[in-house]
Protein backbone atom coordinates (compact mmCIF):
# COMPACT_ATOMS: atom_id res chain seq x y z
CA UNK A 1 0.00 0.00 0.00
CA UNK A 2 3.01 2.29 0.36
CA UNK A 3 3.44 4.15 -2.94
CA UNK A 4 7.15 4.74 -2.25
CA UNK A 5 8.10 1.11 -1.62
CA UNK A 6 9.36 -0.67 -4.72
CA UNK A 7 9.95 -4.42 -4.89
CA UNK A 8 11.57 -6.32 -7.77
CA UNK A 9 11.68 -10.10 -7.77
CA UNK A 10 14.16 -11.90 -10.01
CA UNK A 11 13.84 -15.65 -9.62
CA UNK A 12 14.28 -16.34 -5.92
CA UNK A 13 15.98 -12.99 -5.24
CA UNK A 14 14.37 -9.74 -4.12
CA UNK A 15 15.51 -6.11 -4.34
CA UNK A 16 13.61 -3.51 -2.30
CA UNK A 17 13.82 0.29 -2.47
CA UNK A 18 12.09 2.57 0.05
CA UNK A 19 12.03 6.24 -0.94
CA UNK A 20 11.04 9.14 1.30
CA UNK A 21 11.65 12.63 -0.13
CA UNK A 22 15.46 12.59 -0.50
CA UNK A 23 16.18 9.57 1.71
CA UNK A 24 16.41 6.17 0.04
CA UNK A 25 17.01 2.71 1.46
CA UNK A 26 17.91 -0.30 -0.66
CA UNK A 27 17.69 -3.92 0.45
CA UNK A 28 18.52 -7.10 -1.41
CA UNK A 29 19.06 -10.80 -1.29
CA UNK A 30 21.77 -10.62 -3.99
CA UNK A 31 24.24 -7.69 -4.06
CA UNK A 32 24.42 -7.61 -7.89
CA UNK A 33 20.77 -6.56 -8.24
CA UNK A 34 21.16 -3.67 -5.83
CA UNK A 35 24.37 -2.59 -7.58
CA UNK A 36 22.40 -2.50 -10.85
CA UNK A 37 19.64 -0.43 -9.20
CA UNK A 38 22.15 2.03 -7.75
CA UNK A 39 23.90 2.40 -11.12
CA UNK A 40 20.63 3.19 -12.93
CA UNK A 41 19.52 5.58 -10.18
CA UNK A 42 22.85 7.47 -10.15
CA UNK A 43 22.47 8.13 -13.90
CA UNK A 44 19.16 9.95 -13.25
CA UNK A 45 19.75 11.57 -9.84
CA UNK A 46 22.57 13.02 -7.84
CA UNK A 47 23.05 10.70 -4.88
CA UNK A 48 25.63 9.39 -2.49
CA UNK A 49 25.90 5.99 -0.85
CA UNK A 50 26.46 6.02 2.89
CA UNK A 51 26.86 2.28 3.40
CA UNK A 52 25.02 -0.01 5.73
CA UNK A 53 21.73 1.34 7.07
CA UNK A 54 22.03 2.64 10.64
CA UNK A 55 19.47 5.45 10.67
CA UNK A 56 16.40 6.22 8.52
CA UNK A 57 14.05 9.11 9.34
CA UNK A 58 13.54 8.62 13.13
CA UNK A 59 14.42 4.92 13.11
CA UNK A 60 17.71 3.53 14.34
CA UNK A 61 18.75 0.24 12.77
CA UNK A 62 21.29 -2.18 14.23
CA UNK A 63 22.22 -5.09 11.97
CA UNK A 64 23.83 -8.37 12.91
CA UNK A 65 24.23 -11.83 11.43
CA UNK A 66 21.14 -12.97 13.38
CA UNK A 67 18.82 -10.17 12.31
CA UNK A 68 17.86 -6.51 12.67
CA UNK A 69 16.91 -4.38 15.68
CA UNK A 70 14.87 -1.26 14.88
CA UNK A 71 14.17 1.36 17.53
CA UNK A 72 13.42 5.03 18.08
CA UNK A 73 15.73 5.44 21.05
CA UNK A 74 17.17 8.84 20.10
CA UNK A 75 13.77 10.22 19.11
CA UNK A 76 12.28 9.05 22.42
CA UNK A 77 15.19 10.51 24.43
CA UNK A 78 14.72 13.85 22.68
CA UNK A 79 10.97 13.86 23.46
CA UNK A 80 11.57 13.10 27.13
CA UNK A 81 14.22 15.82 27.30
CA UNK A 82 12.04 18.36 25.44
CA UNK A 83 9.31 18.01 28.06
CA UNK A 84 11.81 17.97 30.97
CA UNK A 85 10.81 14.49 32.16
CA UNK A 86 14.31 12.98 32.45
CA UNK A 87 14.19 12.63 36.23
CA UNK A 88 10.55 11.57 36.56
CA UNK A 89 9.32 8.24 37.88
CA UNK A 90 8.16 5.88 35.12
CA UNK A 91 4.66 4.37 35.31
CA UNK A 92 4.05 0.65 34.70
CA UNK A 93 1.29 1.17 32.11
CA UNK A 94 1.21 3.33 28.94
CA UNK A 95 -1.85 5.22 30.20
CA UNK A 96 -3.64 5.43 33.49
CA UNK A 97 -6.31 2.78 33.88
CA UNK A 98 -8.59 5.47 35.31
CA UNK A 99 -8.06 7.92 32.43
CA UNK A 100 -11.37 8.86 30.84
CA UNK A 101 -10.52 11.22 27.99
CA UNK A 102 -13.09 12.81 25.73
CA UNK A 103 -12.75 14.79 22.53
CA UNK A 104 -12.52 18.56 22.78
CA UNK A 105 -12.83 20.38 19.44
CA UNK A 106 -12.01 23.81 20.88
CA UNK A 107 -8.95 23.31 23.08
CA UNK A 108 -7.24 20.34 24.77
CA UNK A 109 -8.01 20.06 28.45
CA UNK A 110 -5.65 19.59 31.37
CA UNK A 111 -6.65 15.91 31.38
CA UNK A 112 -5.15 15.61 27.89
CA UNK A 113 -1.87 17.16 29.06
CA UNK A 114 -1.75 14.82 32.05
CA UNK A 115 -2.38 11.80 29.80
CA UNK A 116 0.30 12.95 27.33
CA UNK A 117 2.88 13.37 30.09
CA UNK A 118 1.95 9.93 31.46
CA UNK A 119 2.64 8.40 28.03
CA UNK A 120 5.99 10.22 27.75
CA UNK A 121 6.98 9.05 31.24
CA UNK A 122 6.11 5.50 30.21
CA UNK A 123 8.21 5.86 27.05
CA UNK A 124 11.12 7.08 29.20
CA UNK A 125 11.14 3.69 30.92
CA UNK A 126 11.02 1.80 27.62
CA UNK A 127 13.53 3.82 25.56
CA UNK A 128 15.67 0.76 24.86
CA UNK A 129 12.71 -1.18 23.41
CA UNK A 130 12.34 -1.80 19.70
CA UNK A 131 11.47 -4.43 17.13
CA UNK A 132 13.65 -7.48 16.48
CA UNK A 133 13.51 -9.08 13.04
CA UNK A 134 15.18 -12.47 13.03
CA UNK A 135 16.76 -13.71 9.80
CA UNK A 136 15.96 -17.35 10.59
CA UNK A 137 12.17 -17.11 10.92
CA UNK A 138 9.89 -19.53 9.17
CA UNK A 139 7.43 -18.22 6.59
CA UNK A 140 4.21 -18.97 8.48
CA UNK A 141 1.60 -16.19 8.68
CA UNK A 142 0.05 -15.59 12.10
CA UNK A 143 -2.58 -12.96 12.91
CA UNK A 144 -4.11 -11.70 16.15
CA UNK A 145 -7.02 -9.32 16.49
CA UNK A 146 -9.20 -7.76 19.16
CA UNK A 147 -12.03 -5.24 19.39
CA UNK A 148 -13.89 -3.29 22.01
CA UNK A 149 -17.61 -2.65 21.89
CA UNK A 150 -18.57 1.03 21.62
CA UNK A 151 -15.50 1.98 23.66
CA UNK A 152 -15.17 5.58 22.44
CA UNK A 153 -16.88 7.80 25.03
CA UNK A 154 -17.62 10.56 22.49
CA UNK A 155 -19.26 8.71 19.61
CA UNK A 156 -19.69 5.16 20.98
CA UNK A 157 -17.72 3.76 18.03
CA UNK A 158 -15.87 0.52 18.45
CA UNK A 159 -12.18 0.13 17.85
CA UNK A 160 -10.68 -2.99 16.36
CA UNK A 161 -7.07 -3.81 15.72
CA UNK A 162 -4.72 -6.57 14.84
CA UNK A 163 -1.14 -7.50 14.26
CA UNK A 164 0.34 -9.84 11.71
CA UNK A 165 3.52 -11.87 11.90
CA UNK A 166 5.62 -13.78 9.39
CA UNK A 167 7.24 -16.33 11.64
CA UNK A 168 8.35 -14.43 14.76
CA UNK A 169 8.56 -11.05 12.99
CA UNK A 170 5.78 -8.47 13.16
CA UNK A 171 5.12 -7.06 9.69
CA UNK A 172 1.89 -5.10 10.08
CA UNK A 173 -0.37 -3.58 12.70
CA UNK A 174 -3.72 -1.96 12.22
CA UNK A 175 -6.31 -0.14 14.26
CA UNK A 176 -9.66 0.93 12.94
CA UNK A 177 -12.64 2.75 14.41
CA UNK A 178 -15.96 1.32 13.42
CA UNK A 179 -19.47 2.40 14.17
CA UNK A 180 -21.39 0.11 16.49
CA UNK A 181 -24.01 -0.43 13.80
CA UNK A 182 -21.58 -1.65 11.13
CA UNK A 183 -19.86 -3.88 13.66
CA UNK A 184 -23.11 -5.48 14.78
CA UNK A 185 -24.20 -5.93 11.14
CA UNK A 186 -20.89 -7.64 10.36
CA UNK A 187 -21.36 -9.99 13.30
CA UNK A 188 -24.91 -10.86 12.19
Binned at pLDDT 50, 70 and 90, residue 165 comes out as confident
Its pTM stands at 0.65
Give 82-100 pLDDT, tens digit per residue. Answer: 999 999 999 999 888 887 7
> Domain map of the chain by residue range?
1-51, 73-133, 137-188
Give 24-60 pLDDT, tens digit per residue. Answer: 888 888 888 878 888 888 888 888 777 788 888 888 9
| pLDDT at residue 185 greater than cutoff 50 | no
Predicted local confidence at residue 82, as pLDDT: 94
| pLDDT at residue 183 greater than cutoff 50 | no
Buried b (16+ CB within 10 A) or exposed e, 62-92: eeeeeebeebbbeebeebbeeeebeeeeeee
Give 1-24 pLDDT, tens digit per residue. Answer: 567 888 888 888 888 888 888 778
Inter-residue contact 60 to 72 (CB < 8 Å):
yes
| Full 3-state SS string of the chain | CCCCEEEEEECCEEEEEEEECCEEEEEECCHHHHHHHHHHHHHHCCCCCCCCCCEECCEEEEECCCEEEEECHHHHHHHHHHCCCCCCCCCCCCCCCCCCCCCCCCCCCHHHHHHHHHHHHHHHHCCCCEEEEECCCCCCEEEEEEECCCCCCCCCCEEEEEEEEECCEEEEEEEEEECHHHHHHHHC
Give 123-142 pLDDT, tens digit per residue. Answer: 999 999 998 888 876 767 78
Amino acid sequence: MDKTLFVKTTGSHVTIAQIYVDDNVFGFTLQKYTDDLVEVTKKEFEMSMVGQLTYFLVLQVKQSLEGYFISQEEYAKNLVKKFDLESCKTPRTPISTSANLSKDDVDPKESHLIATKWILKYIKGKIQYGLWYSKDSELSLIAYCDADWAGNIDDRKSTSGGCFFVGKNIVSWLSKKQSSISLSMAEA
